[in-house]
Amino acid sequence: MTYVGIVLVSHSEKVTDGLKEIIREVIEDVPVESAGGMEDGLIGTSVDKITTAIRQADQGRGVLIFYDLGSAKMNTDLAIELADLQEEVELVEAPLIEGAYVGAVEASIGRDMTEILASIHASFPKIEIG
Amino acid sequence: MIWKEVDIVSWMDKTNEKIQANKSELTILDRNIGDGDHGINMSRGFQKIVDQLQETNYSSVSAVLKDVAMLMIRHIGGASGPLYGTAFLRLSLATENIQTIDTTTLAKGFHAATAGIKQRGKAKSGEKTLIDVWSPVTKYMNDTEEINPTKLVQVAELAMENTEDMLAKKGRAAYLKERSIGHIDPGAMSSYLLFQSLAEVLEGGSTT
Ligand SMILES: Nc1ncnc2c1ncn2[C@@H]1O[C@H](COP(=O)(O)OP(=O)(O)OP(=O)(O)O)[C@@H](O)[C@H]1O
Ligand SMILES: [Mg+2]
């Protein structure tokens, strides 16, 4: 069975590693990639890390990306543009932790991108971040 | 002047010198209304840029600009990395396959670059970001018959100073709301240094 993949982008690697742990406690099969922080572990976001994470999370059913502040979104947009990614990717406008959790649960029951996005948007009213 | 690969390298060298000299000033500005990393980000990124440019031989202005863009994206970090990187990608595109790159070509490139920054940051003029320097400078470059380096610096400096009274609507500073007023935007200052350096290259520019 294949799943929609999840990529976590935050300024801190600890945040995305921790979030992945929270998800993994409940959901084992859905690909979840932690792409927080910069290469050297510094606070920030990295185009290269995000690109790699998207590639790894993809099983052919698309990838949902959850992010936190400012540059996280800009670098994710750039990653998608520069790598000319073939994967179907979607940046999700939802709180990083709760959004990713809902996304992973929905993905684990085999839902597709559209269904998962609808469910997330129903759970979280639009918020302004960054 | 006609822009050659060496002129871009020289522009980056001059910018790097100013960034390194003003690293703590940039940090202080970003500590006032952001997270205090702009000086570190710019200094790390520009050091990488000059190191890399020194080691490489380029066959076109566009190729130098492209490399600069990628180095900015990889090494500056923060929001300014993708924003400056996008601007230089646009500059590179605007100079691609053009044999003689005069200042008019470059001015058009800056126009595309500013549009790129706005698009990347989902931002517009007056929101207290580096756009508030790029936009007036680009306008001056495109409106004037011939770019006067002294005037260019004046436009950039005034634009930077004008960010002091603005209320931030984008980036970290936006979370401070009214408290963002009364401080110069760090990105506006680093952009001022970039344009000051550009003016210096124009000043000493070859006409061949
Ligand atoms: N959305 C945006 N649009 C245009 N410019 C922006 C935007 N966000 C931030 N900036 C500019 O970037 C500058 C800050 O750059 P810096 O390198 O400190 O990144 P940062 O804000 O710390 O990044 P991060 O989002 O990763 O925390 C600001 O001074 C502003 O000029
Ligand atoms: Mg900062």
**CATH number for the domain that contains residue A84:** 3.40.50.510
Contacts of A50 in chain B (CB under 8 A): none
The list of chain A residues with pLDDT below 70 reads 127-130
Q: What is the C-alpha to C-alpha distance for residues B126 and B128, in angstroms, rounded to an integer?
A: 6
Give the closest residue to B127 by CA, choosing from B72, B78, B79, B197: B79
Q: What is the C-alpha to C-alpha distance for residues B26 and B188, in angstroms, rounded to an integer?
A: 10
The answer as to whether A24 is a domain residue is: yes
Q: Is the pLDDT of residue B207 over 60?
A: no
Whether the CB of A52 sits within 6 Å of ligand 1: no
Give the closest residue to A22 by CA, choosing from A96, A86, A94, A83: A96
End-to-end, the C-alpha distance of chain A in Å comes to: 36
The answer as to whether A69 is a domain residue is: yes
Tell me the sheet residues that pair with B3: B101
Which pLDDT value is given to residue A41? 86
Is B82's CB within 8 Å of A78's CB? yes
- A45 token code pair: 């976001």
Contacts of A70 in chain B (CB under 8 A): 78-79, 171-172
The answer as to whether A114 is a domain residue is: yes
pLDDT band for B208, please (50, 70, 90 cuts). very low
Helix (H) or strand (E) holding A100: helix A96-108
Which pLDDT value is given to residue B204? 85
Whether the CB of B5 sits within 6 Å of ligand 1: no
Give the closest residue to A112 by CA, choosing from A70, A66, A62: A62
Which pLDDT value is given to residue B9? 97
- B177 token code pair: 């709301």
- DSSP assignment, residue A45? B
Give me chain B's average pLDDT, please: 96
Q: Is the pLDDT of residue B7 over 50?
A: yes
Closest residue by Cα to atom 2, ligand 1, is B121
The answer as to whether A98 is a domain residue is: yes
Is A46's CB within 8 Å of B77's CB? yes
User: What does B9-44 look like in DSSP terms, one character per residue?
Assistant: HHHHHHHHHHHHHTHHHHHHHHHHHS-S-HHHHHHH
Q: Provide the domain count of chain A.
A: 1
- B142 token code pair: 């495109």
- CA B80 to centroid of ligand 1, rounded, Å: 5
- Under a CB-based contact definition with an 8 Å cutoff, are residues B69 and B88 in contact? yes
Is A71's CB within 8 Å of B78's CB? yes
Give me the mean pLDDT over the B26-45 stretch: 97
Q: Is the pLDDT of residue B16 over 70?
A: yes
b/e code B137-176 from CB counts within 10 Å (16+ = b): bbbbbeeeeebebeebbebbeebbebbeebebebbbbbee
- The pTM assigned to this predicted structure is 0.94
Chain-centroid distance of CA A53 in Å reads 9
3-state DSSP call for residue A117? helix
Contacts of B77 in chain A (CB under 8 A): 38, 42, 44-46, 71
Which residues of A are identified as catalytic? 11
- B193 token code pair: 């240094």
Contacts of B170 in chain A (CB under 8 A): 130
ipTM: 0.89
The answer as to whether A61 is a domain residue is: yes
pLDDT band for B88, please (50, 70, 90 cuts). very high
Q: pLDDT tens, A66-92?
A: 999 889 999 999 999 888 777 789 999
Share of chain B above pLDDT 70, in %: 98
Nearest to A74 among B37, B121, B172 (CB): B121
The answer as to whether A58 is a domain residue is: yes
Give me the mean pLDDT over the B60-74 stretch: 97
Alpha-carbon distance values, A70 to B147, B149, B161, B198 (Å): 35, 34, 24, 28
Give me the mean pLDDT over the B198-206 stretch: 86
Number of Cβ within 10 Å of residue B19's Cβ equals 26
Closest-CA distance of chain B to residue A44, Å: 6
Give the range of the structural domain holding residue A82, as residue numbers without chain letter: 5-123
Whether the CB of B39 sits within 6 Å of ligand 1: no
Whether the CB of B187 sits within 6 Å of ligand 1: yes
Q: What is the C-alpha to C-alpha distance for residues B182 and B149, in angstroms, rounded to an integer?
A: 29
Q: pLDDT tens, B135-185?
A: 999 999 999 988 999 999 999 999 999 999 999 999 999 999 999 999 999
- Under a CB-based contact definition with an 8 Å cutoff, are residues B208 and B4 in contact? no
Residues of A with CB under 8 A from a CB of B: 38, 42-48, 69-71, 74-75, 77-78, 82, 130
Mutate which of B170, B176, B180, B194 for ligand 1? The one with the most ligand atoms within 8 Å of its CB, which is: B170
Is A70's CB within 8 Å of B171's CB? yes
The answer as to whether A130 is a domain residue is: no
Assign a CATH topology to domain B5-203.
1.25.40
The answer as to whether A55 is a domain residue is: yes
Which pLDDT value is given to residue A82? 87
Which pLDDT value is given to residue A127? 59
Chain-centroid distance of CA B52 in Å reads 18
